[in-house]
Chains A and B, each alone.
Chain A
Amino acid sequence: MTQPVSTSTPSASAGGVLAPSSPAKRRRSRRKFSVLTRRDRFTLLFMVGLPAFIHIGLIWVPTIASVVLSFTKWNGIGGLEKIQWVGLQNYSQLATIYQPFWPAVQHNFIWLGTFLFIATPLGMLIAVILDTNIRGSRIYQSVLYMPVVLSLAIVGFIWTLMYRPDMGFINNLLVAITGNQSFIKSGTAIDWLGDHNLNLWAVLVAAGWRHVGYIMVLYLAGLKSVDNTLREAASIDGANARQTFFRVIFPVLAPINVVILVVTVIESLRAFDIVYIINKGLNGLELLSVLITVNIVGESSRVGFGSAIAVVLLLISIGPIIFYLYRTMREQPE
């Protein structure tokens, strides 16, 4: 600490300028911590109020507005008075005649499933291995974490270089292995990102490439925080590596497991950049996030309809968010 606190001028209101009606409050706050002067109260109100105002105004007001607008029809042209109430019409159209909707829901769930059952466990497995003080652990960590600092848009570009049918690494590797030129000839080459049966999986490999490192770092930090005596006790009791992990370490790490679960779910629902940069999220790469975006940009924006999709996304994400808050806040000391 550099500045001596004692030199600060006692605030002007320190003495008798306390609000006359405040003795009760004053007693209460003294019990907890100290006397707050009126100026201090204003300061605190400002310190909490300004950030909260910005956060609520730009995040929660639009979230609620999304819900409200989802029951309306509005093309965004003209004032708010042009908004018409249409009840559940947007939702019924979404479920029945809007063709990309169900594929997008399906793709979001495939995305989530792949992350949850393949990428996340792989990241956790690597973290467990690296936690054993294996030689070169730092180097392995650096390499595996490297994709995480790249944006998903760049990841999309870099993997396009791998996947291009004629010039990409994978098809050229197939040629090198088999000696068969048909793997890069147009017509016979595998179009990893163009074929709508394949491209979601190809993109998931690229997105998983980034996700594994993220989970690894989070889990590694959790593992490092585990008391070593637990491991020693388990090993004295004759537990093998697998038993030690599943019966001792994993249960102890419940808080970090929650973080990992929530991060995985939220990242899967947020996925947008990588499919948008590859093909604007069309032809096999539809996601809810993309559908929301295409309905608001452009001349004939469908505000109500886009909001209805946003509400679907909100409903899917609200469960994990509440679960996370419940687990986190329960552990807060206060």
Chain B
Amino acid sequence: MSASAMSPAVRPTTPNAATPKKVKHHYGTHAFLIAICAIWVLPVVWAVYTALRPFGDTANNPRGYFSVGGAYNLDNFFKAWQDAELLQHFVNTLIVAIPAIILILFFASMIAFAVSRYSFRFNIALLMLFTAGNLLPQQVVITPLFRMYLALPMVKPLSDNGIWYDQFFGLIMIHLAFQLGFCTFVLSNYFKQVPREINEAAVVDGASVWRTYWSVLLPLARPALAALATLEFTWIYNDFFWGILLMRTGDKLPVTSALNNLSGQFFTDYNLLAAGSIIVALPTLIVYLALQKQFVAGLTLGSTKG
């Protein structure tokens, strides 16, 4: 464990240090935080360690998975990638996530613009409906939704079996419907902070409503849109429920839902399970590490404004 993080005399010297009384507790606090963080990284470190070792080394060692030594290589990762056809499932995830994110942000920004810049009688009711819809557990709607997906017709390029069920189109639509609530809520709060004079200036210049939205307010919302896109990517990538219920063809499953079918295959080989988990976890971890700011901003835009 890094002793440097515990270095003494870490008294914050910022002039406005909010809580000077914390100073005397520093050692205990750091010990507590380091202990918690150690527990937090342990499962991931353990998975990586196991994934790096060949099955034979661990299975035949008397100390089992707690042993050290033997070979360390990436074989399990290659094998998991191949056996589970992960590439195919990653592509499926992108086929669903990219159109879904674009549509979510487009539709959410439209409705957020309309309700935050113009006064309708139903403004608040509409916002409430969207927010409540976003909070509903998915399982509340799934029974009728499943039947609807079997019955609703859809034309050829969007559906090869003529219905919504077992189609990328269907998955995109349910993500759109569900995520609209959160994004609308966040964006309408964002738009409300933009001074009204900006609208008025646009109107004086003869801009239509659409023009005001598309060329004036939408560009202003770029930071919020970036934050929401990051967040939505993670949420859609991590979706498990819609994928296993609204898709049937194994080859068309997005990667997280595909884990359900892979579990039987992986559970016999523990090291392979570890490698597969790491591979599937990697994209969201990379997005998180690269775009941490956007990520946290998106979440907190939705909460602190509430």
Interface members, chain B 158-186 (any A CB < 8 Å): 173-174, 176-178, 180-181, 184
- Interface contact B145-A62, CB-CB below 8 Å: yes
- Residues of the A chain whose Cβ atoms lie less than 8 Å from the Cβ of B81: none
- B84 interface residue (CB < 8 Å to A): no
Task: In the complex, identify which listed stretch (A16-24, A95-103, A195-203, A320-328) lies at the interface while the others stay far away.
Answer: A320-328
- Interface contact B65-A167, CB-CB below 8 Å: yes
- B206 interface residue (CB < 8 Å to A): yes
Bound complex: CA A329 to CA B129 (Å): 12
> B256 is contacted by which of A10, A142, A154, A293 (Cβ under 8 Å)?
A154
How would residues 250 to 272 of chain B score, 1 for a CB under 8 Å from any chain A CB and 0 otherwise? Answer: 00000011011001001100100
Interface members, chain A 204-249 (any B CB < 8 Å): 209, 213, 217-218, 221-222, 225, 228, 231-232, 235, 240-241, 244
On whether A266 and B135 interact (CB within 8 A), knowing A8-B205, A143-B37, A157-B273, the answer reads yes
Q: Summarize A's interface: helix, strand, loop or mixed.
A: helix
A-B contact count (CB 8 A): 368
- Residues of the B chain whose Cβ atoms lie less than 8 Å from the Cβ of A6: 205-206
Q: Summarize B's interface: helix, strand, loop or mixed.
A: helix
Interface members, chain A 19-42 (any B CB < 8 Å): 32-34, 36-37, 39-40
- Residues of the B chain whose Cβ atoms lie less than 8 Å from the Cβ of A289: 137, 139
- Interface contact B110-A51, CB-CB below 8 Å: yes
Give the shortest distance, in Å, between A80 (CB) and chain B (any CB): 9
- Interface contact A66-B143, CB-CB below 8 Å: yes
- B249 interface residue (CB < 8 Å to A): no
Bound complex: CA A139 to CA B220 (Å): 31
- A190 interface residue (CB < 8 Å to B): no
Interface members, chain B 8-47 (any A CB < 8 Å): 10, 12, 14, 16-22, 26, 29-30, 32-33, 36-37, 40-44, 46-47
On whether A1 and B136 interact (CB within 8 A), knowing A66-B144, A161-B274, A329-B128, the answer reads no
- Interface contact A3-B259, CB-CB below 8 Å: no
- A107 interface residue (CB < 8 Å to B): no
Give the shortest distance, in Å, between A21 (CB) and chain B (any CB): 18
Bound complex: CA A231 to CA B238 (Å): 39
- Interface contact B260-A149, CB-CB below 8 Å: no
- Residues of the A chain whose Cβ atoms lie less than 8 Å from the Cβ of B174: 58
> B277 is contacted by which of A69, A158, A313 (Cβ under 8 Å)?
A158
- Interface contact A8-B215, CB-CB below 8 Å: yes
- Residues of the A chain whose Cβ atoms lie less than 8 Å from the Cβ of B145: 58, 62
- Residues of the A chain whose Cβ atoms lie less than 8 Å from the Cβ of B16: 228
- Residues of the B chain whose Cβ atoms lie less than 8 Å from the Cβ of A47: 110-111, 113-114, 209, 213
Provide a sorted-by-A list of 21 A–B residue pairs whose CB atoms are within 8 angstroms.
Answer: A5-B202, A11-B208, A52-B111, A54-B180, A55-B181, A59-B177, A126-B33, A132-B12, A144-B36, A146-B40, A150-B284, A151-B256, A160-B273, A164-B270, A175-B66, A218-B303, A273-B240, A292-B143, A293-B245, A325-B132, A327-B306
The chain B residues found within 8 Å of chain A, CB to CB, are: 5, 7, 10, 12, 14, 16-22, 26, 29-30, 32-33, 36-37, 40-44, 46-47, 50, 58, 63-66, 107-108, 110-111, 113-115, 117-120, 123-124, 126-133, 135-148, 173-174, 176-178, 180-181, 184, 192, 196, 199-203, 205-213, 215-216, 219-220, 234, 237-241, 244-245, 256-257, 259-260, 263, 266-267, 270, 273-274, 276-277, 280-281, 284-285, 287-289, 292, 295-296, 299-300, 303-304, 306
